[in-house]
Amino acid sequence: VEVLAALEEALREGRLVLFGQPIVDLSTLEAVATEVLVRWPREGGFWPAGVFIPLAEETGLIRELDLYVLRLVETLPENSLWHVNLSPQTLRDPRFLEAASRLRGKGVRFEITEYALAQGVEEVLQELVEMGFGLVLDDFGQGYASLNTLIQHPFCMVKMDRGFTAGLGENPKSHAVLRASLSLARELGLELVAEGVETQAQRAWLLRLGYRFAQGYLFGTPQPISGS
């Protein structure tokens, strides 16, 4: 409860900041986009997002947090493609579309997990696409989305859960899933990103499998975004 009150206060006082992590082209290592990741500063470091995001989701505060992030994203440079994470509750918040509309023309894609899709967000997703935003399915293969998800929703890109990357060179089944997903993605006209690349060996495997895009500590850890 104290953590929650402190988070509320940090939001009110505008103390949360944005970090960014690149999504790169595997062969050139050039950044093709930057994923925006919110951070909560404290003395000597940051509260881990993996802790306060779930807490904010449990209590509904995530809607304020996501709307806060959207306002900061408004101030980011135009010459770059920004990936913004959204929680399911935010997608259903009546204030959300208005907030998103202020980002029109800016080169923003929204990342949504499989979990969000179980919650009746079809109409909002359709509106976002009509407004010109790209939609990215995050952590694919880790939740309970069926392949039907890829047919029913207007995604332009899918991020393969980092568990598959972790299995490269270890588990032949991970190779099979990554390979088959790539050919499925090609047929469906979707771009694929491999998440959680930490080693050169994993990068080499992904190139051999035909992957073009990836993200992970090997290419860049989340870093403060200057000007945010």
Q: Between residues 14 and 187, which has the closer beta carbon with respect to ligand G? A: 14
The tokens describing 123, both together, are 């109409």
Pick one of 66, 93, 114, 138: the residue that binds Na ion (CB under 5 A): 138
Interaction partner, residue 202 (ligand G, Na ion, none; CB < 5-8 Å by kind) = none
6-28 burial, b for 16+ CB within 10 Å, e for fewer?
Answer: ebeebbeeeebebbbbbbbebee
Output 33 or 187, the one with its CB closest to ligand G.
33
Residues that bind ligand G (CB under 6 A): 21, 37-38, 48-50, 53, 62, 66, 69, 85-87, 138-139, 162, 195-198, 215-217, 222
Residue 43 three-state SS:
coil
| Binds 222: which of ligand G, Na ion, none (CB < 5-8 Å by kind) | ligand G
Both structure tokens of 8: 């509320």
50 binds, among Na ion, ligand G, none (CB under 5 to 8 A by kind): ligand G
What are the two backbone dihedrals, phi and then psi, of residue 159, each rounded to the nearest 5 degrees? -100, 120
- Complex with Na ion: residue 93 or 138, whichever CB lies closer: 138
Distance between CA 30 and CA 214 in Å, rounded? 11
Provide, rounded to whole angstroms, the least separation between the CB of residue 221 and ligand G: 7
Window 107-136: residues binding Na ion (CB under 5 A): 111
Site string for Na ion, 154-193 (x = CB under 5 A): ----------------------------------------
User: In this structure, what token pair is assigned to residue 50?
Assistant: 């993996």
The C-alpha angle 220, 222, 226, rounded to 5 degrees, equals 105
Residues in the chain: 228
Secondary element (H or E) of residue 127: helix 122-130
Q: Which residues bind Na ion (CB under 5 A)?
A: 85, 111, 138
